Amino acid sequence: MALELKNPHSVLAALKTRPIDVTEIRLSAGAAQGNWGDVADEARGHGIPVVFRKAPPQKMKRRQSEDQGRRTTGSVALVKPRNPSSLTELFTLEHEGSEPRGLWLALDCIQDPHNIGAIFRTAAFFGVRGIVLTKDRSAPLNATVYDVASGGMEAVPFAVETNLSRAITEAKQSGVWIMGTSEHAEEDVATYGQDRPWMVVIGNEEKGLRRLTLEQCDVVCRLTPTGLVDSLNASVAAGIMIARFSPFGPGVN
């Protein structure tokens, strides 16, 4: 079933990476310029239908403006969800010699689609190699995730697993080290650097990492607060960890 994407950046990324999965572009009146204009041009180049919607009656415009952001202006694209990768594909890409290189993430029951979308966007920015998501007790990869990711969903390979333990085991067998995150950890993230390939595991927004997940981590560390606020949104915490431990980030080796 196709998703209705409202962020033109997400749509353009899909058009450039998998145009066969974009079935139709529906533009509102006056949306043929700017970002949506670029979307329309790219779609036509792939033979994808571009349909213009009729302008709504004047009395309906105010009501619609309350439901739609300025960026979307009522335009949407019908895009099929991206197929997930297997764990084997996720952990055997572009090895240098026999050792993997890079940063991976695992999201342990993240339930807010905005958080997942934001994490994918940051992951794409820093070149994260792959993301493992849990199938149960997690937000679905819906249109909100794709729109918030602003193209990140097209750039980062991901796997959706019923058993996160299995994913962690396969990561370890590939030579990847597992770093859990917890506000109750004794060690600060400053203890570790980019001297090895990491998979950073981010826990549920309220409960954090599950016990069985924590037990499988090679290390567990925390982001130590230095101000009055003692906690971070899951996607913000993930962004800091990505920036620190990505080989392309400003972390300390």
**Percentage of the chain lying above the pLDDT 90 cut:** 77
Condensed to tens digits (0 to 9), the pLDDT of residues 12-62 reads 999 999 999 999 999 987 777 789 999 999 999 999 999 987 766 665 555
For domain 3-55+75-79, give the CATH number: 3.30.1330.30
Q: Is the dihedral of CA 114, 117, 122, 125 positive or negative?
A: negative
Condensed to tens digits (0 to 9), the pLDDT of residues 70-121 reads 444 589 999 999 999 999 999 875 545 556 679 999 999 999 999 999 999 9
What confidence score (pLDDT) does residue 34 get?
87
What is the pLDDT averaged over residues 156-168? 95
Q: Do domains 3-55+75-79 and 87-245 have the same CATH topology?
A: no
Q: Can you give the pTM of this predicted structure?
A: 0.89
Where are the chain's structural domains?
3-55+75-79, 87-245
Q: In what order do the strands lie in the sheet with 103-107?
A: 158-161, 130-134, 103-107, 198-202, 177-181, 219-222, 187-188
What is the pLDDT averaged over residues 213-219? 96
What confidence score (pLDDT) does residue 62 get?
55
Give the single-character DSSP code of 189.
G
Q: Are strands 130-134 and 103-107 parallel, antiparallel or unpaired?
A: parallel
What confidence score (pLDDT) does residue 50 get?
95
Regarding predicted confidence, which is higher, 55 or 158? 158
Confidence of residue 67 (pLDDT cuts 50, 70, 90): very low
Check if the beta carbon of residue 132 is closer than 8 Å to that of residue 227: no
> Rounded to an integer, what distance in angstroms lies between the CA atom of residue 75 and that of residue 198?
40
What confidence score (pLDDT) does residue 74 get?
86
Residue 45, Cβ density class (10 Å: 0-12 exposed, 13-18 middle, ≥19 buried)? exposed
* 191, 241, 112, 8: CA torsion to nearest 10: 180
Strand (E) or helix (H) holding 6: none
Across the chain, mean pLDDT equals 89
The token duo for 161 is: 């697993």
Q: Is domain 87-245 in CATH 3.40.50.300, yes or no?
A: no
What confidence score (pLDDT) does residue 58 get?
60
> Rounded to an integer, what distance in angstroms lies between the CA atom of residue 59 and that of residue 44?
33
> Rounded to an integer, what distance in angstroms lies between the CA atom of residue 208 and that of residue 109?
9
